[in-house]
Amino acid sequence: ASKTTEFDIQIAPSDILGDYIVKSTIRDIVSAVLYIANRSSREVHRSDCFWVTQMKDINKVPCGGLGGVAELIKDSGYNGCFYCLPRYDRDTLTEQQVLTNLEEDLGR
């Protein structure tokens, strides 16, 4: 019998090796992640953002939680989506405003 994860992903017993899922599709991974970065546009989106549906799978970079988003924005020059992550959008906010918003949202 398959198992259902906390993210409602069906996992077959043959896909589990100990504590690890050894086989899944990009759609399964994307649906289990809160944020998705686009390696082509260098924008970060919430996983439920319309623009994620427009990305090619090869450009989708799962970045987990807000900590992953902060790393991409601070260290790799990514930008927050104007629509779904406006608090991290450097096209409308200054770099300092974006960093302050990240620190506030991370509870630091």
**Tens-place pLDDT, residues 48-70:** 999 999 999 999 999 878 999 99
Q: How many CB atoms lie within 10 A of CB 64?
A: 13
Nearest-angstrom CA–CA distance, 10 and 1:
10
CA 88-91-96 angle, 5° bins = 55
Total number of domains in the chain: 2
Specify whether 107 is located in the same domain as 63: yes
pTM equals 0.68
Crossing angle of the two packed helices 95-105 and 66-76, in degrees rounded to 10: 160
Domain limits for position 46: 33-108
Specify whether 25 is located in the same domain as 49: no
**DSSP code at position 86:** G
Digits of tens for pLDDT over the chain (108 positions)?
555 444 555 555 555 445 444 455 555 554 455 899 999 999 999 999 999 999 999 999 998 789 999 999 999 999 999 999 999 999 999 999 999 999 999 887
Specify whether 54 is located in the same domain as 24: no
Nearest-angstrom CA–CA distance, 97 and 65:
20
